[in-house]
Amino acid sequence: MEIQDGIAVEPISDLHSIDPELVEKMAYDALVWSSLHGLVVGDRSVERSGRIPGLGMVHAPFALLPTAFPESHWKQACEVAPIFNELVDRVSLESQFLQEALSRTKKVDAFTSKLLDIHSKMLEMNKKEEIRLGLHRSDYMLDEQTKLLLQIELNTISCSFPGLGCLVSDLHRNLLKHYGEYLGLHSKRIPSNAAASQFADALFKAWVQYDNPRAVVMIVVQGDERNMYDQHWLCASLKEKYPLLHSDTYLYQILNNTHNVSTIRKTLAEIDEEGKLQPDGTLLVGSQAIAVVYFRAGYGPVDYPSESEWRARLLVEQSSAVKCPSISYQLVGTKKIQQELAKPNVLERFLDSKEDIAKLRKCFAGLWSLDDKDVVGKAIEEPGLFVMKPQREGGGNNIYGDDIRETLLRLQKEGTEEDAAYILMQRIFPIVSPTYLMRDGICHKDCAISELGIYGAYLRNKEKIIMNDQCGYLLRTKVSSSDEGGVAAGFAVLDSIYLT
Ligand code: ADP
Ligand code: MG
Ligand code: MG
């Protein structure tokens, strides 16, 4: 048996051997804990649960026990987080690279085209973002056969579950404190997870840089948001942040007893209706000045049902508010840019350190444009080895298996430029293990695979990097028979890791 930190490390016990009575007890305790600690989402069976807080709450779907994950790969994922943060920032400044890399996609994907139009307008205006805030989540799967930690994608907008993810780690730690002895598991092997307070800290620091004590943080939200509590956790943390005595703004806050940072929630349609720019670039929504705009909506076409929403997005971009993300940060997070960055000698354009480049490249899976005829041929022959991805976010958009073959053959036949809307990616096959999944108060055992997300925060003001940190994590575990697994979509559950 291996010993780490004085604790015997055993692989997570065989779930088949856990006494069903114990499972039932733990499941009950876990449900109580979730209810008492705000590990909740809006209940889809209650009509207004996505609009009115406190109404129709149900526990978030979660795994009853944490999932085993090798410590070395965990460390690897944490280590590259600041490098990815820096990469996003560097690439965001290369407007020409972004416009060129996405130029073919622009012709066939209306959503990407709209984003690029805003980006072009900002270039024409010579708009500079001096304070840049990124709240990212880089997602990985551990490929079972090669034992490689491979990046699925890097999210630069609307990363979900920094709030609830850390609660799941708390829940698991709590369960292991009570039942770990029977399971041969120790709560200390669950790494600490402070994603919510670290993200709130980044928002707070961005607010300080903006330096208008009367301005607030605005969260851009969907009108109906059942995942609102995940967001409210960040707002709560932001409100409770106590100032440090080292800058004038903080002093101002103390003297005026306004040490808490308020947040407001607005949809893009509301921003279009109530928003305006002052001559100095200040964004006003109603009469309220906005310091930081944190997008938890606006990542996909559904969030822009009319021109009104696009006007709001443009207005925000034109303003002096700190945008999380700016339009260029959002573009860096597209699948197409991910694929372009994986080409030989591209990272070298953006990063100086050879070691850093090697570390990032090590976690790149195979990524190809559909220009690559050999790879397209291979994908038609063996579609099971690939995932085909459009320029979309939020889950449920990828193409798998026989659908890849059909789509590729159709694209070949049509011979249009529609192929530029997609990329091909090597399919990653993580280890499959039995898991207890908790959903709607019911515990059910299934074979599952996991995806690790590492949160990262980056804040700079001109040449000064104020924050570049790894900020906690999220494990999502889904039944292995499902190709894709959004937590909200109903396949995946929130999980945490047990280091082995
Ligand atoms: P989105 O931005 O919509 O989340 P992703 O690239 O993360 O898009 O894909 C959604 C889901 O599809 C992932 O969470 C993962 O479950 C699955 N997936 C994506 N890429 C791969 C891959 N290369 N191998 C295996 N599964 C993948
Ligand atoms: Mg994504
Ligand atoms: Mg994803």
476 CA to centre of own chain: 11
| Best residue among 152, 303, 422 to mutate for probing ligand 1, ranked by most atoms within 8 Å of CB | 152
Task: Evaluate whether 11 touches 36 at the Cβ level (below 8 Å).
Answer: no
pLDDT, tens digit, 9 for 90 and up, residues 322-347: 999 999 999 999 999 999 999 999 99
ipTM score for this prediction? 1.00
Q: At what angle do helices 228-240 and 195-210 cross, to 10 degrees?
A: 60
Q: What phi-psi label fits residue 211: left (phi over 0), alpha (psi between -120 and 50 degrees) or beta?
A: left
Q: Are strands 442-461 and 131-143 parallel, antiparallel or unpaired?
A: antiparallel
- How would DSSP label each residue in 292-334? EEEESS-SSGGG-SSHHHHHHHHHHHHSSSEEET-HHHHHHTS
The atom number, within ligand 1, closest to the CA of 478 reads: 16
- 3-state class of 401 per DSSP? coil
Task: Give the residue whose CA is nearest to atom 17 of ligand 1.
Answer: 484
Cα of 56 vs centre of ligand 3, distance in Å, is: 27
Give, for all 500 residues of the chain, the pLDDT tens digit: 444 444 444 545 566 688 999 999 999 999 999 999 999 999 999 999 999 999 999 999 999 999 999 999 999 999 999 999 999 999 999 999 999 999 999 999 999 999 999 999 999 999 999 999 999 999 999 999 999 999 999 999 999 999 999 999 999 999 999 999 999 999 999 999 999 999 999 999 999 999 999 999 999 999 999 999 999 999 999 988 654 434 455 555 544 444 479 999 999 999 999 999 999 999 999 999 999 999 999 999 999 999 999 999 999 999 999 999 999 999 999 999 999 999 999 999 999 999 999 999 999 999 999 999 999 999 999 999 999 999 999 999 999 999 999 999 999 999 999 999 999 999 999 999 999 999 999 999 999 999 999 999 999 999 999 999 999 999 999 999 887 766 766 679 999 999 99
Which one-letter DSSP state was computed for residue 464?
E
Reading the block at residue 164, the tokens are 């609830």
If DSSP codes are grouped into helix, strand and coil, which group holds residue 485? coil
106 is known to lie in a ligand binding site: no
The torsion angle over the Cα atoms of residues 379, 380, 383 and 388, rounded to 10 degrees, is 60
Residue nearest to atom 10 of ligand 1 (CA): 395
- Tell me, in angstroms, the distance from the centre of ligand 3 to residue 379's CA: 21
* 396 Cα nearest atom in ligand 1: 3
CA distance 324 to 156: 8
Name the pairing type of β-strands 464-479 and 57-59. Answer: unpaired
Whether 335 is catalytic: yes
Distance from the alpha carbon of residue 140 to the mean position of ligand 1, in angstroms: 9
CA angle 105, 308, 200 (to 5 degrees): 80
Task: Verify whether ligand 1 is closer than 6 Å to residue 180 (CB atom).
Answer: no
364-to-244, 350, 367, 422, 483 alpha-carbon distances in Å: 40, 16, 8, 18, 20
Q: Rounded distance, CA 164 to CA 196, Å?
A: 8
Q: Compute, in degrees rounded to 10, the torsion defined by CA atoms 374, 380, 386, 389.
A: 90
Tokens of 183: 């399971």
485 lines ligand 1 (CB under 6 A): yes
**Tokens representing residue 418 in the block:** 């529609």
- Asked if residue 398 has its Cβ within 6 Å of ligand 1, the reply is yes
pLDDT 10s digits, 123-171: 999 999 999 999 999 999 999 999 999 999 999 999 999 999 999 999 9
Residue type, 221: V
Q: Is 462 a residue of the active site? A: no
Q: Is the distance from the beta carbon of residue 393 to the nearest atom of ligand 1 less than 6 Å? A: yes
Q: pTM for the complete prediction?
A: 0.94
The pocket of ion ligand 2, defined by CB under 5 A, consists of: 153, 155, 393
Say if CB 427 and CB 384 are below 8 A apart: yes
C-alpha distances (whole Å) from 94 to each of 130, 154, 229, 291 are: 15, 18, 36, 25
Name the closest-CA residue to atom 16, ligand 1: 484
Q: Three-state SS for 455?
A: strand
Has 396 been labeled as part of a binding site? yes
Going 36 to 40 to 42 to 46, the CA torsion angle's sign is: negative
Q: Decide if 153 is catalytic.
A: yes
User: Ligand 3: distance of its center to the CA of 18 in Å?
Assistant: 32
Please give the Cα distance from 243 to 251 (Å, whole number). 8
Domains of the chain, earliest start first: 17-185+194-365+428-499 (no CATH), 366-427 (3.30.1490.50)
**Chain Cα centroid distance, residue 35:** 24
CB 156 within 8 A of CB 134: yes
Q: Is 335 annotated as a binding residue?
A: yes
**Integer Cα distance of 215 and 224 in angstroms:** 26
Given a contact cutoff of 8 angstroms between Cβ atoms, the answer to whether 119 and 331 are in contact is yes
Which residues sit opposite 458 in a β-bridge? 134, 468
Q: Tokens representing 454?
A: 């590492």
Among residues 173, 189, 323, 389, which one is catalytic?
A: 389
Residue type, 92: S
Q: Dump the DSSP string for 17-69.
A: GS-HHHHHHHHHHHHHHHHHHT-EEE-TTSTTTTTSTTSSEEEPPEESSPEEE
